Amino acid sequence: MTRPIWDKGGAAVDEAVQRFCAADDVVLDRELFPFDVRASVAHVNGLARIGVLSEEERVALVRELGQIGEAFAEGRFVLDARFEDGHSAIEHLLGERLGDVGRKVHTGRSRNDQVLVAARLWLKERLGALGALCLDAAGVCLDRATTGERVPMPGYTHLQRAVPSSLGAFFAGHAEAFLDDAETARAARARVDQSPLGTAAGYGVNLPLDRTGVAAELGFSRVQVSPIYAQNSRGKLELLGLTALHQATLDVRRLAWDLSLFSTAEFAFARLPEAYTTGSSIMPNKRNPDVVELLRTLPAAVEGAMAELSATLSLPSGYHRDLQATKGPVLRAFGRALDGLALVPALLERVTFDEARMRAAIDPTMYATDRAVELAASGTPFRDAYRQAAAEMAGLAGRSPEQSLSARVSPGGMGALGLEQLTARLAALRASS
């Protein structure tokens, strides 16, 4: 390992202690490294604006930072165990290439605000990706809702047949959930959108740093004013991001459960695309819905990360090395969940439904609620209408699913799904992304 940037030349660094303290930081920082480089460029430009760096020094540092970023992106530079973390790698490489000029890069900042800003930029991007994936899923759901608006299928409560529903209603329900999730991701991103760079170790520095200009260069809408809160917010804002991610994965899990049930031989309503299934190592007849089953696990992965962060954040004010442990769970949870969410739109486009099978599963007793409401609408007290409908089940045999669906015209009901409203909401969210 290269000499730690905090080494003051005293006692030798114990390698076992160093390995324990650094843990897997250098591996995790591979995901944050491009954002660390980008923030370093903005920091250098800010130092030049207040006269700490000359224009010549600024140009040299920005040039080398660009080359470091390019080398990393192209695989010519690998962030590995030679370095304690990504921050140390940047300073080491700049010092190696530019000498004393390179070693000026850390003026006015700490690794504390350096990791904060890199993680903040990363989280903004991931929350943006989360919102976009939710909108993609909502868009496919609305397309399927439109084509299936009048395709009958059973509606269930308690996993028991209840009333006639439609394939359009099924997809409209999931579409609205994903629209909510996109808005939740956007709200979380707005909270994350504040720059901690320039707060140093949590108490500011004796330089007139251009924090506002640096924040604007990095695309933040504002600065995080309090240096103490900047440190205290580490892990807290990541937990907020995980909460938004969790909301989306909960809806994915419910959708995955629906598809899992509907694709069983017992239901036989849905058929999953073959590319989203696997076979058995011993049973030649099997076609297993592995993708939807693994989609069901996504909330558990996010909940595990949330539990780790919540437990770690039981700290007094200020920076503590414990906070390093918030990085890994967040990176892993977002990585796994976004990979899963990315599969959902194509899965929804390609899953097929057996319309005849779904229609056949609607039995006459499922029209009893319609009959009770009809009696109540004609003046019979509802509880009496309820009992009368229960006693007249045999008389419901002549009804059709289409009649039932078209009669339920309450807003959002089976005869008035409100797809135009949902489509307009989707368009507005896409336009403002």
Separation of alpha carbons 34 and 41, rounded Å:
11
Beta bridge partners of 271: 352
In terms of C-beta density within 10 A (0-12 exposed, 13-18 middle, 19 or more buried), how is residue 150 classed?
middle
Based on the residue annotation, tell me whether 320 is a catalytic residue of this protein: no
Sign of CA dihedral 166, 170, 171, 177: positive
Residue among 380, 360, 382, 359 nearest 369 (CA): 382
Cβ–Cβ under 8 Å, residues 250 and 187: no
Give the phi and the psi of residue 270 in degrees, each rounded to 5: -120, 150
Separation of alpha carbons 391 and 373, rounded Å:
14
Separation of alpha carbons 103 and 13, rounded Å:
21
Catalytic residue, candidates 43, 92, 106, 158: 158
Based on the residue annotation, tell me whether 280 is a catalytic residue of this protein: yes
Paired tokens of 286: 């099997």
Residue among 179, 317, 325 nearest 247 (CA): 179
The half-sphere exposure of 132 on its side-chain side, counting CA atoms within 13 A, is: 10
Catalytic residue, candidates 280, 310, 317, 400: 280
Which positions are catalytic?
A: 158, 280
